[in-house]
Structure 1
């Protein structure tokens, strides 16, 4: 990483991040991004209702297997490429500078859209909660801006503070869900406990492609373990272990939690319960099995869950921007590190302003915070991350084929290859079902590709295209800077 001169007159500005995050702290950071309670309370009921019904929990298992295969290559790459940046860096090392830069902008799109989608959702939940307890009616976007400000304050400070906040919130939300599952298992549910969710006919029922979208979306953020490399303690061991722990932990938890949700209502009753109101299914379930106290606690934790989610994604995006700045593709100042907090503070401010501006724009256009802001941009993020991980899988295979630095076939060819196939199949299913996700339909209500679908899908084309154009401009106008863009094996 090049040490660049600061604009000050004293010493060069610090540009390298440092820290001593262990496996547990990093896992907390990335699992918090997966927002467990938000997924169980929001995505799982929708996956059951408009996906494949009783068989939906099995899709978490399938997603976890695909992403675990992808993680093998990711972890192997992390051992041999001692740099943060994850997709941006790995795609550059494997497929060249231009592709690496294109990957960086896809990543920026992914994490920015998923973050702003949750800002919309948390703003709505806060507005609804305040009004439901007799408070004033306040616009959702005002609450979103307040949350953005709070996240900005924590993101500006040392990463250890964020990890501690996320750790407390994560333990609380996971704990309440596990208590619910335990209560369901003790009670037995209306139809008793069964493994109907894992029967092949139930897995293939309904619209499994739609269900897979919600399942994969639940894992977004796990791959960001490599982003924290410079702040990790013994990164060659910490990053791979954190990556595997995150995927396995997320997969097991979501499978168990969604299975418990199905058992709570019974295989024959879950669809009707979800259809009644998927948004509060988790609260109704908590009320039945844990009483009104459990329902109130869950409602509070649902809000803190979304706060933990946006805080985690904020930290991921700021570190992507930090890495891109130090590679010379974003303004130099974005890559500086605070002398006291040791955080990429300028990058944090940039991301805070970006999120605030987007929320204001959505408010001006009067977008619905859940049906449009949350759903549309979560859909964009899900497809973008699937394509980005597929690209990274190819980069891993190519990198080790060129360098011969690691000759283990499973880690460098087979696992990344299988992961690539699984991710591409998932991406195809997501694209085919994209109108369902964003609500595009014809006059009869049948899902069709319309204006919203095409505009949102275009973002996934425009962002990497910008990366390729930027790489071409740098190569043409600043050849020396291009040569140092990413110190890849070949251009």
Structure 2
């Protein structure tokens, strides 16, 4: 589920080429390594928390237990908006890619919004079923994605028009004036790696499964994307990769595949590009529905959202709610796109670009906050953890991620491709962070009007208060 959210083929074909094109920085491969180190440090404190706070609230529960219930609910509201933004934004790219597939392979013209609604139906059906059904479907798709990207990597390395070198990994090729934009782009490839904790209620061994999945995801994502980005530099040539990415976008990958494989194999790669997006949609949908259930179960949202069904305890109410919200946003963008100057690219330039960057900003902010929550919680509850786990790793991760949050806000006009004076340059980041303020106010109101509900926040279904947190 975690790797599916990362969407390997989407990141390599779409995200990496966009990173080269927009930033004109060669050090994209090194950026994945740098972020991998930062997020591995984050995972140290995150995993220590997950072994002690075994509820499906993840960010929300961890912040509540570390920093207090009011910050915890603030984190929950940011998480709900961020994950929804990521999930719904991906429908824009999914609709575009599916419509393009129908046009190029079958010569059939289908509106992007119709394709997006088709994906919406599939996601909705999988969402109201137990996680094992989604996992089986996504497992097959992700395995095929990895295969396609590995084939591309080795064809690109074998082509290497300028020879094999370490281009892309030199510090001077990353740490330039555009490093902030590069890291802001690359961090989106990791989004979802922390979502393993959301499935605490549905795994056999919550204490160890979450920790292993989180560290495994960080390592796999960092190494795989660094290697693939370097392969792209080799395949296009260090002097041409930026120019070619700006000109051809995802076509860089499929053109390379087409140079060595038959047409049907390239078309299969295009199909898997679409299923890669579908896999990410399902994964983020599952995260949102479980957040809603966790909050409702603890009294922070209406109780009907806690409704689950079946042996696998699928969060049916949360799933239906997320689907309804996605439908509303899709309809709004479908109507708005009807009169766009470029209706074909409209869902990519607006729905996908705007919302996924909003989601990435919110999730990075949550990771920074969670790092400081781990610092506080583990200081109160050391239980054999060393200084590195309790202090050093969470502190470094929190500071680094905080700097990254500021960088994303500053670089937001670059990330979304808007002119400096556009109102959306500050409105979109506000959509990511303002829910935290609203959530905090809601929690304070709840504390005064319903102390019993407030007491359950951050403690799963129980109302215990072992740490004496009363904020």
Is the structural similarity TM-score above 0.5? yes
Aligned to 1:439: 417
Which has the larger displacement, 52-61 or 234-243?
52-61
CA–CA distance in structure 1, aligned partners of residues 432 and 244 of structure 2: 35
What residue in structure 2 maps to residue 471 of structure 1? Answer: 443
1:391 matched to 2:361: no
What's 1:24 paired with?
none
Give the counterpart of 1:400 among 378, 384, 407: 378
State whether residues 19 and 185 of structure 2, in contact with CA within 8 Å, keep that contact through their aligned partners in structure 1.
Answer: yes
- SS of the residue aligned with 1:218? helix
Deviation at 1:336, TM superposition (A): 1.7
Contact 2:75 2:366 in 1 (8 A): yes
What's the counterpart of residue 276 of structure 1?
247
Q: Give, in whole Å, the separation in 2 of the partners of 1:49 and 1:412.
A: 40
Pairing 1:190–2:161 present: yes
| 1:359 aligned partner | 330
CA contact (8 A) 1:94 1:395 kept: yes
Rounded to whole Å, the distance in 1 between the matches of 2:351 and 2:197 is 28
Q: Matches of 1:134 and 1:317 in 2, distance apart?
A: 35
CA deviations over 1:57-116 (Å, ceiling 9, x no partner): 110111111101000000000111121211000000001111000000111111100111
Q: Which residue does the alignment assign to 1:81?
A: 53
Corresponding residue of 1:330: 301
Q: Do the aligned residues in 2 keep the contact of 1:53 with 1:206 (CA within 8 Å)?
A: no
Work out the CA distance in 1 between the residues paired with 2:194 and 2:378.
20
1:140 paired to 2:118: no
Q: Which residue of 2 aligns with 1:426?
A: 404
Shift of 1:52: 4.6
CA drift of 1:289 comes to 3.6
Shift of residue 269, structure 1, vs aligned partner: 1.7
Distance in 1, Cα, partners of 2:312 & 2:197: 21
Cα pair 2:155 2:257 within 8 Å, conserved: no
Give TM-score, length-normalised by structure 1. Answer: 0.90
- Within the candidate set 21, 27, 42, 1:49 is matched to 21
State how far apart, in whole Å, the 1-side matches of 2:302 and 2:238 are: 55
Structure-2 change in CA distance of 1:136 and 1:288 (3 Å): closer
Does the 8 A contact of 2:4 with 2:279 survive in 1?
yes
The residue number in structure 2 matching 1:36 is 8
How many residue pairs were aligned? Answer: 456
Corresponding residue for 2:343?
none
After TM superposition, the structure 1 stretch with the greater mean CA deviation from structure 2, 273-282 or 71-80, is 273-282
Determine helix, strand or coil for the equivalent of 1:197.
coil
Conservation of the 8 A alpha-carbon contact between 1:261 and 1:285: no
Query: Runs ≥4 in structure 1, deviation > 6 angstroms?
Result: none
Backbone CA RMSD of aligned residues: 1.5
In structure 2, which of residues 260, 275, 281 is the aligned counterpart of residue 304 of structure 1?
A: 275
Tell me which of 449, 454, 460 is aligned to 1:482: 454
Shift of 1:188: 4.3
Gaps of 5+ in 2: 341-345, 460-464
- Relative to structure 1, is the Cα distance of residues 243 and 409 closer, same or farther in structure 2, using a 3 angstrom cutoff? same
Indicate how the Cα distance of structure 1 residues 52 and 410 shifts in structure 2: closer, same or farther if over 3 A, else same: farther
- CA deviations on 1:379-425 (whole Å, 9 max, x unpaired) are 11111111110000000111122334444111111001111121112
CA-CA distance at 1:133 after TM superposition: 3.6
Secondary structure at 1:397's aligned position in 2? helix
- Secondary structure in structure 2 of the residue aligned to 1:54: coil
Cα separation, partners in 2 of 1:419 and 1:449, compared to 1, 3 Å: farther
Q: C-alpha distance in 2, partners of 1:402/1:204? A: 38
Aligned equivalents of 1:287 and 1:421: distance in 2? 44
Decide which of 97, 104, 107 is 1:125's aligned counterpart: 97
1:48–1:271 Cα contact (<8 Å) kept: yes
Q: Given the superposition, is the C-alpha separation of residues 339 and 129 from structure 1 closer, same or farther in structure 2, using an over 3 Å criterion?
A: closer
CA contact under 8 A between 2:167 and 2:230: conserved in structure 1? no
TM-aligned CA deviation for residue 139 of structure 1: 2.0
* 1:165 and 2:143 correspond: no
Match of 1:458 in 2: 430
The answer for the alignment partner of 2:195 in structure 1 is: 224
Gaps of 5+ in 1: 1-28, 442-447
Q: CA deviation at 1:325?
A: 0.8
Q: Deviations over 1:24-79 (max 9, x none)?
A: xxxxx001000010000101001112225321111011111110100000000011
CA contact (8 A) 1:229 1:239 kept: yes
